[in-house]
């Protein structure tokens, strides 16, 4: 085993251990700089964000092609010493065979985990039929196992994000994905403590990822008490940054004012962090 493969294997073991007990936050960087700063803050793992990366490339969420996403995931993996989970959207293929090939390529980047969604991208048919969705998860599982990569597979039920806010349907799908080989389960878009608890309880002892894209009156301790193993924020950090940029740019364009600059991080602090980071990596 070469050094790169050994490093990937170590990260994958550490990532699985994080899911065995307790609750951890897995924040979502969208470039090298944000990945390194999040590591600096002491987080134990990172997750890519398809939306955040798409916005950084001037594209809508879902607008990044597979090869560009694979290159981005590889860049985040290389930028950090932490395990990285890839937001791998719907596997960049409509068929189980295509999903398997995409997952094989993603595993080669050195990721510790990846997620596969059941959304089709078609407004008239927003979710894959459950049989097709299960076959796609099974194909992803088989591809990981054939590669001997030990990558954690997360199965995502997108019901609440595509206009189908049916908790029973989400649970039916997540249970089926667990049976097809998903290691971790995820229903983004849950908006209540009751729905979060229902998913966690129904899938125990499988670990559940909870998305917190906006304040819901819950903190990490609350989610841990409910039994959540993993808490992610999706594209929220990118949207916070872009929101500050938009407010500042609008103020300049519309009012000729620069008041929002008062909230900017000091230049010396930012460049000092990256200078020190370079020295640590030398």
In the chain, domain spans: 3-234, 236-282
Is 70 exceeded by the pLDDT of residue 169? yes
217 or 15, higher pLDDT: 15
> 73 is written with which tokens?
């995931």
Question: For 269-280, what is the HEC assignment?
Answer: HHHHHHHHHHHH
Pair 19, 183: CB distance under 8 Å: yes
Mean pLDDT score, 193-211: 97
User: Per residue in 17-52, pLDDT tens?
Assistant: 999 999 999 999 999 999 999 999 999 999 999 999
User: Per residue in 206-250, pLDDT tens?
Assistant: 999 999 987 788 999 999 999 999 999 999 999 999 999 999 999
Judging by DSSP bridges, how do beta strands 184-186 and 152-156 pair with one another?
parallel
- Asked: is 3-234 a CATH 3.40.190.10 domain? The reply is no
User: Per residue in 75-130, pLDDT tens?
Assistant: 999 999 999 999 999 999 999 999 999 999 999 999 999 999 999 999 999 999 99
pLDDT at site 1: 65
Mean pLDDT (the chain, rounded) = 96
Percent of the chain with pLDDT over 70: 100
């Amino acid at each position: 085993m070469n050094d790169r493969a050994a490093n990937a294997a170590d990260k994958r073991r550490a990532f699985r251990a994080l899911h065995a007990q307790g609750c951890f936050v897995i924040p979502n960087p969208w470039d090298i700089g944000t990945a390194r700063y999040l590591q600096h803050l002491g987080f134990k793992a990172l997750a890519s964000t398809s939306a955040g990366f798409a916005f950084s490339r001037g594209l809508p969420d879902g607008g990044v092609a597979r090869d560009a996403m694979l290159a981005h995931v590889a860049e985040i993996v290389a930028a950090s010493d932490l395990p990285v989970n890839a937001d791998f959207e719907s596997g960049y293929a409509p068929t189980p065979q295509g999903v398997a090939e995409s997952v094989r390529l993603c595993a080669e980047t050195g990721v510790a985990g990846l997620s596969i969604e059941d959304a089709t991208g078609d407004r008239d048919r927003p979710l894959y039929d459950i049989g097709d969705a299960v076959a796609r998860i099974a194909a992803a599982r088989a591809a990981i196992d054939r590669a001997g990569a030990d990558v954690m597979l997360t199965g995502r039920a997108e019901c609440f994000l595509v206009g189908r806010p049916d908790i029973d349907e989400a649970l039916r799908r997540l249970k089926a994905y667990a049976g097809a080989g998903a290691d971790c389960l995820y229903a983004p878009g849950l908006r209540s403590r009751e729905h979060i608890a229902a998913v966690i309880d129904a899938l125990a002892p499988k670990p559940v990822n909870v998305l917190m894209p906006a304040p819901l009156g819950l903190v990490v301790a609350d989610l841990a008490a409910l039994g959540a193993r993993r808490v992610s924020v999706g594209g929220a950090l990118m949207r916070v940054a872009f929101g500050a940029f938009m407010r500042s740019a609008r103020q300049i364009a519309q009012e000729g004012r620069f008041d929002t600059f008062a909230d900017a991080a000091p230049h010396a602090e930012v460049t000092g962090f990256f200078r020190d980071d370079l020295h640590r990596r030398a």
